[in-house]
Amino acid sequence: MDTLFKFPALAQVLAEYADYITTTYKQNLEKSGHKATGKLISSVHTVVNIGETSASVDMYLEDYYKYVEKGRNEGSFPPVNKILEWIRIKPIIPRPDKNGKVPTEQQLAYLIGRNMMEKGSPTKDGLPTPPTFDLRHAKETADSAYITRIEQAIQEDLSNELTSVVSMLIV
């Protein structure tokens, strides 16, 4: 189906915007120390969609980004297998308890999970994780860098389309 208008300038600027927000978000994650396996960072990608009545930049990434961004509230027990995976990747070295007993990886994962259930996500110092807002920061940075260029691209595309239509009517 033919489209009423074509938006090549907008498509170009939105592609640049998508690259910018993806790169910025990945850099923010790394700066915040959110690179245990690199799975979240490597999963981040964007798709530009320009339709008849709308244009969008959609970002796709692992579902657990919300826990990385906002931490985990107390009250629910996190998946022990994910904590165990994290312990192995980091690696987290278990320390002896007050009686000198060193917990196994499984026990350590359970203890970390119980602490998260009671207090929220732990950090290196044992306090709940403050929200990082890496994604919001990336979006705000991209928006401020590209909003004027997006508006100009729309104006350019509409002007070119209207000039083309008028030219066809005159001929």
Residues 63, 114: one domain? no
Residues 8, 61: one domain? yes
Residues 114, 145: one domain? no
How many Cβ atoms are within 10 Å of 73's Cβ, its own excluded?
A: 13
Q: How confident is the model at residue 146 (pLDDT cuts 50, 70, 90)?
A: very high
Residues 136, 64: one domain? yes
Q: What is the mean pLDDT of residues 18-36?
A: 89
The C-alpha atoms of residue 165 and residue 161 are separated, in whole angstroms, by 6
* Amino acid symbol at 154: I
pLDDT single digits (tens) 55-73:
999 999 998 888 777 777 7
DSSP state letter for 119: H
Residues 115, 153: one domain? no
The C-alpha atoms of residue 18 and residue 23 are separated, in whole angstroms, by 9
pLDDT at position 23 is 95
Residues 30, 50: one domain? yes
Residues 62, 142: one domain? yes
Number of structural domains (the chain) is: 2
Residues 60, 136: one domain? yes
Residues 63, 140: one domain? yes
Q: Show the domain range for 156.
A: 1-69+132-171
How many Cβ atoms are within 10 Å of 129's Cβ, its own excluded?
A: 17
pLDDT at residue 52 greater than cutoff 90: no
Residues 76, 155: one domain? no
Is the C-alpha dihedral spanning 20, 25, 26, 28 positive or negative?
positive
More confident of the two residues 75 and 102: 102
pTM of the model: 0.70
Residues 43, 76: one domain? no
**Cα three-residue angle 22-28-34, rounded to 5 degrees:** 110
Q: How confident is the model at residue 8 (pLDDT cuts 50, 70, 90)?
A: very high
Residues 36, 77: one domain? no
